[in-house]
Amino acid sequence: MSHNIANFAFRLPFGNSIPRFIRRGDETLLDCTWFAGQVTVAPPDLTSGTFTLKQGSRVVIDAQPIAFAFPGVSCTYTLTPADTQDLPFSDTMLEIWDLFGTIDGEDHHVTVRKSGHLVRTLLWPLVRESDLLVRHARLLDLLPPNANSFVPTLALGWEILNRDLIKRGRRPELILDNYALIDLHIFKTLELIFRDAITFVGDGRYNDLADMYAEKYFEEWENVVFRYDRNEDDAIQDGELEAASPSVWLGEPPPGWP
């Protein structure tokens, strides 16, 4: 039976919904997973493939063979420290995975791309489950069936926060004050928790709580400021304090504006 390519999907961590953050000069294991429906395409169905990495128009890795890894992952490629140690920091990295497979007796060739940043260090979250419980002591009563913590929800909230930073023109790895994002992370995670609770506990007041935290998350963007390492020297300097949401001038800028 022919397989409908509309059922194909792909997962390329760091976070699947944000760019890949690659630390310069590190050995880095990159992975790509190809799904046909709910099934992972892996050897022997995944027959071969190559990996290419570009920075802008510069080819860093040119169509090198992929490796076949471990259960649940289709393939991997390992960057060596020498591959990136002499490259400038940037947000112009591009992975290109060319994969060949045979699914339900039909040959397929797919090309999967993921953009990324080459960074000095990652932006790490500071929020833990205990920070949520301080605000709602009985929050664990709302754990979904078969779940034992809200760690996955915290991870999703962090992905959404990073994605919103990028939408606002900010590169997460250049934010020096990660504490400035704590409330944003908490508000988004609690919104997700209460929104999910509606689906298996019932509406009640959970919808109101979800809406409240969605509004708090929106409003917090107008208040957040942090030191932003625009010159990428990994040091806090005068003049680097910036708002999370950049200002947009609709007329002439104020006097003294560069």
Q: Mind listing the pLDDT tens digit for each residue in 15-38?
A: 678 999 999 999 999 999 999 998
Question: What number of other Cβ atoms are within 10 A of residue 200's Cβ?
Answer: 10
258 inside domain: no
Within-domain flag for 250? no
Same domain, 141 and 227: yes
In a domain, 257, yes or no: no
| Whether residues 134 and 238 fall in one domain | yes
Give the C-alpha separation, 47 to 89, whole Å.
34
Examine residue 57 and state whether it is found in any structural domain, yes or no.
Answer: yes
Low-confidence ranges of the chain (pLDDT < 70): 1-6, 14-15, 69, 202-203, 246-258
Considering the domain boundaries, does residue 177 fall inside one?
yes
Q: Are residues 113 and 215 in the same domain?
A: no
Give the domain-ending residue among 71, 89, 119. Answer: 119
pLDDT per position as a tens digit, 201-226: 766 789 999 999 999 999 999 999 99
**Residue 127 near residue 24 (C-beta atoms within 8 A):** no
Residues 145 and 53 placed together within one structural domain of the fold: no
Domain count, the chain: 2
3-state class of 133 per DSSP? helix
Domain boundary (99, 119, 139) is at: 119
pLDDT at 144: 86
On whether both 32 and 98 belong to a single domain, the answer is: yes
User: What is the DSSP secondary structure assignment for residue 125, as one 8-state letter?
Assistant: P
What does pTM read for this prediction?
A: 0.86
One domain, residues 53 and 151: no
Domain that holds residue 207: 129-243
24 and 115 inside one domain: yes
Strand, helix or coil at 243? Answer: strand
> Which of 94, 119, 144 delimits the end of a domain?
119
